[in-house]
Structure 1
């Protein structure tokens, strides 16, 4: 069972960059997850609208905030990555 799971994970790594690889640091992985999340929220207008209404912002303002957050590093930058 474990061998099969490992093979599936390796297959996912080769297919999708965001999954990472053996050399991916925790920092890089977290940044990928955050950027993918913001990109997904921006790419789904209904979700973006719901968030904008709940935060009292326009969709454009919220989209701009998300884009700016995608540019920023995720968490403190460490020496090892």
Structure 2
């Protein structure tokens, strides 16, 4: 009988498997901009997620119509609000360490 994994136990990946997973992640990160990369900050990642969500809302008219109905607003107003929310969805970017040294 196979032993069940204990909660909190780590899975031992071989060197090849670990390299393969990292290679797949790097491939996805170069292929799709929104997936970020090793140097992507938390703010950049969150901004990408928020913008992708708002763009999806704007791109699907039925979803906009649903939001408009729930908010008792015209569809055009909800669309405008979504577009406005894409400008700085997570606030101003934090100061970079590079900028502070100058």
Settle same-fold status: TM greater than 0.5.
Answer: yes
- In structure 2, C-alpha distance between the alignment counterparts of 1:73 and 1:35, rounded to whole Å: 7
- In structure 2, C-alpha distance between the alignment counterparts of 1:14 and 1:72, rounded to whole Å: 24
The CA deviation string for residues 26-51 of structure 1, in whole angstroms up to 9 with x for no partner, is: 00010000000000000011111111
Q: Please list every run of at least 4 consecutive aligned residues from structure 1 whose deviation after the TM superposition is greater than 3 angstroms.
A: none
Query: Is residue 43 of structure 2 the alignment partner of residue 35 of structure 1?
Result: no
Residue pair 2:29, 2:35 contacting (<8 A) in 1 also: yes
Gapped runs of 5+ residues in structure 1? none
TM-score normalised by L of structure 1: 0.86
| RMSD between aligned residues | 1.9
Which of structures 1 and 2 has the larger relative contact order (alpha carbons within 8 angstroms, sep 6+)?
1
- Counting matched residue pairs gives 81
